[in-house]
A and B are shown apart, each in its own frame.
Chain A
Amino acid sequence: MDRSVSVLGIGQTRVANHEGCSLRSLASEASRAALADAGLRGVDAIFVGNMLSNQTTGQSHLGPLVSSAIGNGVESVAVNAACGSGGAAVRQAYLAVASGACEAALAVGVEKMSGLPKEELVRALASAADFQREVVNDASFAALNALLMQRYLYEYNAMRLDFFVFAEVAHQNALSNPNARLRGGCSLDQYLSSRMVADPIGVYDASPIADGAAAVVLTDSRLAAEKDKRIDLVGSACATDTLSLQERADPLWLSAVEESAHAALDQAGLMHGDVDLFELHDAFTIMAALCLESSGFTPRGTATTFAREQGIHLGGALPISTLGGLKARGHPVGASGAYQVVEATLQLRGEAGPNQVPDASVAMTQSIGGSGATAVTHVLRRMA
């Protein structure tokens, strides 16, 4: 790519049950906050990450919905990569700026999930799986992730208890994030005694549904030159895999995750050891484990040992989900990938408050659609 790209502004709404708050108002609140943070009045293009608006609110065609709400008649299109939509929207904004087509672009992920009956929501989410192979058998994402987790327990001789660390750390980090959906912590007893959704996945293995929006303004780095804290997007990559689990040579290896993580690091000229924190796609505890392994941070079958012994908490070897992750900050599906980039930027600016990872200079974010069918990885770096 010709030009280097900076994250000039970030904005987010609380992740919550925003009843009486429209898709438009959520998206514009986050977008306006990002523009104000960037010190810009407008951008050249807008990319809206969203998965479910059509099913949950009856509204699609979100491009103009958002551009008109923030007073801007520029190019504006929606990007749908299921639960990876937020990350995919950030990547489109990145490509627009890196290619030289735009000086400044805004990516906003927005989702409104509350208000829809649970069974309908489960069905709407399942539409991101392979309809002919999986959904006809009534497979939900909890069920598909349960198939992965059960197999993981079998192949690596692990126990469900080993996954507690992912829930524990995410909930712990969310305690001090005022924007997080779940701020009640998760004790071992809660984890073990919670209701099963699709065994071995219990309530505390899954991320909560929620409403929310997060936005980032990306610009040509020259526009960021005067900022005292310049954060660059130094790596951006997207890869895909089969929609269904059954078509993969090894369901426990997420090849799109592997490819996008390595491509993003290669582009950045960095290595795994350079990454100070990793905002990964912990929609389910098993996904956190598979992301750590397939991204190359720990060999296959060792993620839970890595988490326990090396540490994934704020002071650990590789902090993950530093503001609660999908697991506890909440998972407004099409927005989560944008939240990750907002949170990584807060960390690199040193503005993460009680959740600050000391001396963070490189962050990785990874947004996944389906059970690993789309993976979008970004690497951010503090430049000054």
Chain B
Amino acid sequence: MPATVIERPSRAIAKRGLNYCAECGRLSEENLRACADCGGEQFKRVPHVGTIYSYTTVRRSSGSFVLALVQLAEGRLVTGRVVGAGPELRIGLPVQFVSPEEEDDDSGARGVSFGPHSEWNL
């Protein structure tokens, strides 16, 4: 995989971790026995931080949003929205998983969101 990741985040920064469903790719913070989406029971532990691999601002009549491929710090790509990034949006920008509860989005979408990482600066 052509990596954008320049250096691994420190253990302290990556400590939160997420569960990645091996079946459907859903990312979750909770330790569930079965995936809430697909019922899969195999999870991989992945870091909750990564960098933007690619991004776009999707413009719709209903408003615009940022979609991205995020490369998690262990190398895996995931698709998600990026919230709260302004002009600093770029390939390589460090981001972190945003819990659905933390998110200020009432669109009802059940996707994944990332926001700029505050401590890990590349």
Residue numbers of A with Cβ under 8 A of B are 119, 132-134, 136-140, 142-143, 146-148, 150-151, 154-155, 195-201, 244-252
Contact = CB atoms under 8 A, between A and B. Distances in A.
Interface stretch (B11-19, B41-49, B54-62): B54-62
16 contacts: A119-B62, A132-B24, A138-B67, A147-B69, A148-B54, A154-B91, A196-B59, A198-B56, A198-B58, A198-B59, A199-B59, A200-B56, A244-B25, A245-B69, A245-B79, A252-B2
A147 B67 contact: yes
B79 A137 contact: yes
A133 B67 CA distance: 12
B59 A251 contact: no
B18 to A, nearest CB: 15
Nearest to A139: B67
A143 B67 contact: yes
Contacts of A138: 58, 65, 67, 81, 107, 109, 111
Given A137-B67, A248-B77, 13 more contacts: A132-B24, A132-B25, A133-B79, A137-B80, A139-B67, A147-B69, A150-B55, A151-B54, A154-B54, A197-B58, A199-B57, A200-B56, A247-B25
Contacts of B81: 137-138
A151 B111 contact: no
A318 B53 CA distance: 32
Contacts of A249: 1
A147 B55 contact: yes
Interface string B78-122: 111100000000010000000000000001011110000000000
B32 interface: no
Nearest to B59: A196
Contacts of B53: 151
A283 to B, nearest CB: 16
Interface in B60-80: 60-62, 65, 67-69, 76-80
Among B2, B38, B54, B59: residue with most chain A CB under 10 A: B54
Contacts, number: 95
A203 to B, nearest CB: 11
Nearest to B38: A132
Among A119, A139, A143: residue with most chain B CB under 10 A: A143
Contacts of B60: 119
A212 B71 CA distance: 40
A200 B55 CA distance: 10
Contacts of B112: 136-137
B73 to A, nearest CB: 15
Contact of B58 (A136, A140, A244): A140
B79 A250 contact: no
Q: Which 7 A-B pairs have the closest CB atoms?
A: A137-B111, A146-B56, A151-B54, A246-B77, A132-B24, A147-B54, A136-B111
A139 B24 CA distance: 16
Contacts of A155: 2
Given A143-B58, A147-B67, A250 B2 contact: yes
Given A136-B110, A139-B79, A246 B59 contact: no
B88 to A, nearest CB: 15
A143 B59 CA distance: 9
A201 B1 contact: no
Among B1, B77, B78: residue with most chain A CB under 10 A: B77
Contacts of A197: 58-59
B77 A245 contact: yes
A147 B109 contact: no
Contacts of B67: 137-139, 143, 146-147, 198
A132 B80 CA distance: 11
Given A154-B54, A196-B59, A246 B25 contact: yes
A133 B56 CA distance: 17
Contacts of A244: 25, 79
Contacts of B56: 143, 146-147, 150, 198-201
Contacts of B57: 196, 198-199
A200 to B, nearest CB: 8
